[in-house]
């Protein structure tokens, strides 16, 4: 995610229950008393269990898994992943674990790196809106690799995923926004804890060992916002997955560490953030769930242009529009959509991800705005340019970030309008299961044969019933 997108998402986070300003005000709670923070978290991680979850929470975790696997398959042949495998294959251990979308088998650690990178490289993975953490990446990448090495049931796998996500998002809540504002890419810094927690459960760590695993995770944060727009951004969740696994495996041998890794004087929170609200970590563990608030991006582009895309796709579908019919597309958008996603004539796929004009054009032409619609080829195609050049957009400060108004003027004189109140993909208007499936299959297209992609999707849906969750990773290899 580019830093333009980051600001956009911060703004968009208002969707989760108020304006950006209100959220920041809520977050301004400072330094609650630190009593056994790390120990209480460790205790919960190793002693809680799937019986304490609700069907709705488990369903959301399944959706998180499905969305993440699709992203990992989709990004598996990106340049960043190709280069990483080329650089690190000579050092890989035994072929213990699969890589989604690829034939190589790697040791658990390197497979976790590859899958974690693949899943983030399109900036298309899940988002915990309050902290802008992309929660699944570090946790799921560690887990799927581990599950092939140390077989576990799908039920325990799903709960470990949930606990890992809960751990990282709660730690994120405790330090957001100061920690993020300071320069950290919060997905990589909190992700290490999530991966360690999930892996620690699978390895059956004791509370004491889990404490040490959190300590080992604390000394290995990954990721700076300075790297946004470069391949290194996708490295962050992958490396975080590896680091969390390493922490859990070392702790399983009784390798020790501080027992106040989070709250200690020279611990993680004091060193990496000027805000520390420890109650966010320890209050209502197992009762309220951040993992239930996960969201999925319908479009792999700046989030403030999502409502405009949503509007144009709906108009196209409702009226069976063809590009040749279009005279002009007029958008009214939140000011941030122009400020952050206002590139009028994008020259590449990377630029088009921040062009509301491009987003509206492909929405009208293709009825979708997936990774392919942001490829260099489509961006430079004359048919795309023709429509894109006929899109105008004006800022309207009466609109919220999640809102947009689109007017399509047809050559036959008709005028079609659509107002989007809550863009698709927000907490109030989540992607449906069918949309997640379409996104999954679109991402897998060209990487896995369709039959294989559908079987993989099916395994994700029924993860809770799988005797061996390692089969998901196996089924996702090319």
Q: How far is the CB of 186 from a second copy (least distance, A)?
A: 12
Residues present in the chain in total: 478
Q: How far is the CB of 168 from a second copy (least distance, A)?
A: 17
| Closest to a second copy by CB, 50 or 349 | 349
Q: How far is the CB of 253 from a second copy (least distance, A)?
A: 4
Q: How far is the CB of 5 from a second copy (least distance, A)?
A: 14
| Closest to a second copy by CB, 134 or 155 | 134
| Closest to a second copy by CB, 180 or 289 | 180
| Closest to a second copy by CB, 112 or 333 | 112
Nearest residue to 476 (alpha-carbon basis) of 62, 68, 58 = 68
311, two tokens: 């509007």
| Closest to a second copy by CB, 86 or 398 | 86
Yes or no: say if 71 and 443 are a contact pair by the CB < 8 Å rule: yes
Give the SS3 label for residue 193.
helix
CB atoms within 10 A of CB 409: 16
Q: How far is the CB of 358 from a second copy (least distance, A)?
A: 24
129, two tokens: 């809106």
Yes or no: say if 79 and 478 are a contact pair by the CB < 8 Å rule: no
| Closest to a second copy by CB, 57 or 261 | 261
Yes or no: say if 53 and 78 are a contact pair by the CB < 8 Å rule: no
Q: How far is the CB of 271 from a second copy (least distance, A)?
A: 3
Nearest residue to 132 (alpha-carbon basis) of 215, 27, 214, 205 = 27
Yes or no: say if 310 and 402 are a contact pair by the CB < 8 Å rule: no
Q: How far is the CB of 66 from a second copy (least distance, A)?
A: 28
| Closest to a second copy by CB, 91 or 419 | 91
| Closest to a second copy by CB, 274 or 288 | 274
Q: How far apart are alpha carbons 442 and 456 in whole angstroms?
A: 13
Q: How far apart are alpha carbons 99 and 101 in whole angstroms?
A: 6
DSSP per-residue letters across 396-415: -TTS-TT-EEEEEEETTS-E
Q: How far is the CB of 171 from a second copy (least distance, A)?
A: 15
DSSP per-residue letters across 201-229: HHTT--HHHHHHHHHHHHT----BGGGTT
* Contacts to a second copy by CB under 8 A: 3, 80, 83-84, 86-88, 90-94, 96, 107-109, 182-185, 188, 212, 215-216, 218-228, 230-232, 235-236, 239, 246, 249-250, 252-258, 260-261, 264-268, 270-271
Q: How far apart are alpha carbons 277 and 285 in whole angstroms?
A: 15
| Closest to a second copy by CB, 32 or 178 | 178
Q: How far is the CB of 278 from a second copy (least distance, A)?
A: 15
Question: Which segments of 253-334 does DSSP mark as H helices, in order?
Answer: 268-272, 279-282, 306-319
Q: How far apart are alpha carbons 244 and 314 in whole angstroms?
A: 42
């Amino acid at each position: 995610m580019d830093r333009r997108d980051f600001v956009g998402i911060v703004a968009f986070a208002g969707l989760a229950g108020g304006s950006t300003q209100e959220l920041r005000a809520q977050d301004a709670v400072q330094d609650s008393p630190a009593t056994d923070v790390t120990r209480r978290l460790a205790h919960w991680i190793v002693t809680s269990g799937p019986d304490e979850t609700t069907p709705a929470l488990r369903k959301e975790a399944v959706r998180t898994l499905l969305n993440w696997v699709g992203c990992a398959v989709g990004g598996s042949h990106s340049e960043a992943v190709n280069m990483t495998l080329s650089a690190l294959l000579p050092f890989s251990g035994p072929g213990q674990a699969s890589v989604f979308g690829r034939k190589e088998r790697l040791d658990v650690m390197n497979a976790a790196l590859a899958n974690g990178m693949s899943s983030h490289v399109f900036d298309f993975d899940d988002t915990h809106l309050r902290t802008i953490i992309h929660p699944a990446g570090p946790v799921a990448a560690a887990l799927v690799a581990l599950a092939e090495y140390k077989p576990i049931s799908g039920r325990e796998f799903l709960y470990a995923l949930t606990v890992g996500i809960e751990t990282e998002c709660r730690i994120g809540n405790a330090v957001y926004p100061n920690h993020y504002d300071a320069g950290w890419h919060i997905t990589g810094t909190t992700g290490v804890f999530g991966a360690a927690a999930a892996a620690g459960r699978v390895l059956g760590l004791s509370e004491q060992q889990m404490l040490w695993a959190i300590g080992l995770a604390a000394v290995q944060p990954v990721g700076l916002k300075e790297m946004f727009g470069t391949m290194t951004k996708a490295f962050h969740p992958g490396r975080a997955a590896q680091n969390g696994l390493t922490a859990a495996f070392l702790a399983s041998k009784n390798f020790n560490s501080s027992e106040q890794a989070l709250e200690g004087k020279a611990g993680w929170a004091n060193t990496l953030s000027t805000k520390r609200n420890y109650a966010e970590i320890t209050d209502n563990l197992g009762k309220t769930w951040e993992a239930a608030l996960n969201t999925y991006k319908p479009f792999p582009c700046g989030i403030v242009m999502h409502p405009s895309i949503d509007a144009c796709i709906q108009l196209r579908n409702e009226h069976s529009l063809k590009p040749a019919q279009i005279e002009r597309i007029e958008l009214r958008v939140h000011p941030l959509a122009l400020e952050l996603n206002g590139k009028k004539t994008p020259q590449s796929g990377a630029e088009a991800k921040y062009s509301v004009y491009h987003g509206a054009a492909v929405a009208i032409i293709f009825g979708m705005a997936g990774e392919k619609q942001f490829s260099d080829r489509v961006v430079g195609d004359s048919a795309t340019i023709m429509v894109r050049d006929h899109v105008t957009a004006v800022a309207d400060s009466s609109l919220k970030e999640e809102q947009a108004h689109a007017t399509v003027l047809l050559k036959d004189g008709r005028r079609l309008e659509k107002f989007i109140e809550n863009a698709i993909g927000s907490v109030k208007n989540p992607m449906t299961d069918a949309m997640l499936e379409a996104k999954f299959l679109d991402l897998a297209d060209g990487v896995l044969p369709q039959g294989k992609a559908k079987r993989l999707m099916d395994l994700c849906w029924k993860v809770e019933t799988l005797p061996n969750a390692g089969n998901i990773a196996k089924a996702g290899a090319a």
